[in-house]
A = this chain, B = another copy of it.
């Protein structure tokens, strides 16, 4: 079975990865992104992509998968921000 530490780590990873999905849905539906920071999503998309590359280098499937998802979500919000201003 999983240890308490593993459950905490797994919960943390699920939360910080899935957190961006409600923002993707919100921005897609409302087509309003004025209150969202552009520099935030430029930096976050770049950073998550760097984590993804880092995961490939150190052969960590967990880092690769979670950051592939984060890069996609963050890039989706960035695209909506650029589109709707």
Contact = CB atoms under 8 A, between A and B. Distances in A.
Given A26-B35, A32-B34, A37-B26, A50 B8 contact: yes
Interface in A1-47: 5, 8-9, 11-23, 25-27, 30, 32-41, 43-44, 46-47
State the oligomeric state as a number of copies: 2
Interface of A: 5, 8-9, 11-23, 25-27, 30, 32-41, 43-44, 46-48, 50-51, 53-54, 57-58
Contacts of A33: 35
Report, nearest first, the 6 A-B pairs whose CB atoms are least far apart. A15-B47, A12-B50, A16-B47, A35-B35, A19-B43, A19-B44
Nearest to A51: B12
Contacts of A58: 5, 9
